[in-house]
C-alpha cells in the first residue's frame, strides 16, 4: 500500500485496513450497531527465498514494514536491503525481501524463529546476546526537546490515528520535529510493528533522526528502546511507562527515555539533559 505520511485520505486508509461488523451494543438495552474492526493479517518475512518470521499485523505500509523490521532487527543494513515484493495469498501476505549475500549469511547463522510475534519483541531468540545486542552510542546527539513540544505532539496525536479512530484497536508511532509537530505517523495493531513501519518510512526518506524525536502510544519495552536506538533516535517518548530493562538499556546507549507523555506532564527516565523547559 502507499505511504500515508501526509494523511491525505485518512478515511480511505481506515477503510482499507478495517472491516465493517454489526455488533450488539449494550447500554440502556441492546442495540445493533455497525462498527469497524481492525484487520489483523499473517505477514511472512521471507529473505532471499527463505522464511524467517511470521507477524500478525495491519496490512498497510508494507514497504516501510519490510525495511524497518530488517533494520531494527539488525538483519541487514540499508545498503544491504535491495527491495521487497509483497505477495498476497488466501492465508496472508508474504514480503519477499532481497538482501545482500553477506547479510543473508549472517541471518542464517542466527537461526531465529519468531512465528506469531505481536506483543513480545524477542520471542524465539536463542541466546542472551541476541536479546541485548550492541547499539550505537547516542550520547553525542545534541537534540533538545521542550515540555511544550511534547504537549503539542500529544494534543495533535489523535488526528494522525485514522485506524485508531475507526476501530479503537491500533497503536501509533510518530516522528516529530523539535517543535512538536508530527511529520510522519504509522499505525498497526502491534506496537512493535507500528515502530518498525515508522523506522522504515524515516530511513526510506533519508530523515535525519538526530533532529527530532519519536513518540509511541504504548509502553517502552526494551525492544522498543533498541529498535529506536538502532536508527539513531536519541529521544523516545511513550504514552505509557517504560520497563526497568528498557530504562537500563536507554541509559547505557545514551538515549533519552520519556514515559507517561500525555501532555505537559511526563517522566524522564534517562538522560534528562535533552529535555528543557
Which of 120, 123, 176, 253 does the annotation list as catalytic? 120
Measured CA distances, 249 to 195, 196, 227 (Å): 18, 19, 11
- 8 A C-beta contact, residue 192 and residue 227: yes
| Interatomic CA distance for residues 46 and 50, integer angstroms | 5
CA angle 58/15/59 to nearest 5° reads 20
Residues in the chain, total: 277
CB neighbours of 53 closer than 8 A, spacing ≥ 6? 44, 45, 112, 113, 114, 115, 117, 124
DSSP 92: E
Q: Is 120 a catalytic residue?
A: yes
Q: How many CB atoms lie within 10 A of CB 100?
A: 15
What is the C-alpha separation between 182 and 175, in angstroms, rounded?
Answer: 6
Q: What is the dihedral of CA 143, 4, 43, 69, to 10 degrees?
A: -20
Report the catalytic residues: 120
Amino acid at each position: 500500500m502507499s505511504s500515508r505520511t501526509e494523511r491525505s485520505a485518512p478515511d480511505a486508509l481506515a477503510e482499507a485496513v478495517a472491516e465493517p461488523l454489526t455488533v450488539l451494543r449494550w447500554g440502556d438495552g441492546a442495540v445493533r450497531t455497525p462498527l469497524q474492526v481492525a484487520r489483523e493479517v499473517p505477514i511472512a518475512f521471507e529473505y532471499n527465498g527463505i522464511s524467517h518470521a511470521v507477524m500478525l499485523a495491519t496490512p498497510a505500509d508494507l514497504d516501510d514494514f519490510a525495511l524497518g523490521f530488517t533494520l531494527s532487527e539488525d538483519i541487514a543494513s540499508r545498503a544491504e536491503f535491495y527491495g521487497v515484493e509483497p505477495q498476497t495469498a488466501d492465508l496472508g501476505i508474504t514480503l519477499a525481501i532481497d538482501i545482500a549475500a553477506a547479510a543473508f549469511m549472517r541471518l542464517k547463522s542466527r537461526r531465529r524463529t519468531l512465528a506469531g510475534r505481536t506483543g513480545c519483541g524477542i520471542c524465539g531468540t536463542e541466546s542472551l546476546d541476541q536479546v541485548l545486542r550492541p547499539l550505537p552510542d547516542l550520547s553525542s546527539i545534541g537534540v533538545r526537546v521542550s515540555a511544550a513540544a511534547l504537549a503539542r505532539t500529544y494534543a495533535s496525536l489523535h488526528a494522525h490515528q485514522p485506524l485508531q479512530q475507526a476501530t479503537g484497536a491500533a497503536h501509533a508511532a510518530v516522528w516529530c520535529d523539535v517543535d512538536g509537530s508530527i511529520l510522519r505517523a504509522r499505525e498497526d495493531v502491534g506496537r512493535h510493528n507500528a515502530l518498525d513501519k515508522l523506522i522504515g518510512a524515516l530511513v526510506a526518506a533519508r530523515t535525519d533522526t538526530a533532529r527530532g524525536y519519536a513518540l509511541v502510544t504504548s509502553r517502552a519495552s526494551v525492544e522498543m528502546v533498541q529498535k529506536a536506538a538502532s536508527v539513531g533516535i536519541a529521544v523516545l517518548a511513550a504514552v505509557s511507562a517504560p520497563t526497568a530493562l528498557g530504562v537500563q538499556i536507554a541509559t547505557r546507549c545514551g538515549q533519552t527515555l520519556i514515559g507517561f507523555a500525555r501532555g505537559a506532564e511526563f517522566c524522564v527516565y534517562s538522560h534528562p539533559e535533552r529535555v528543557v523547559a
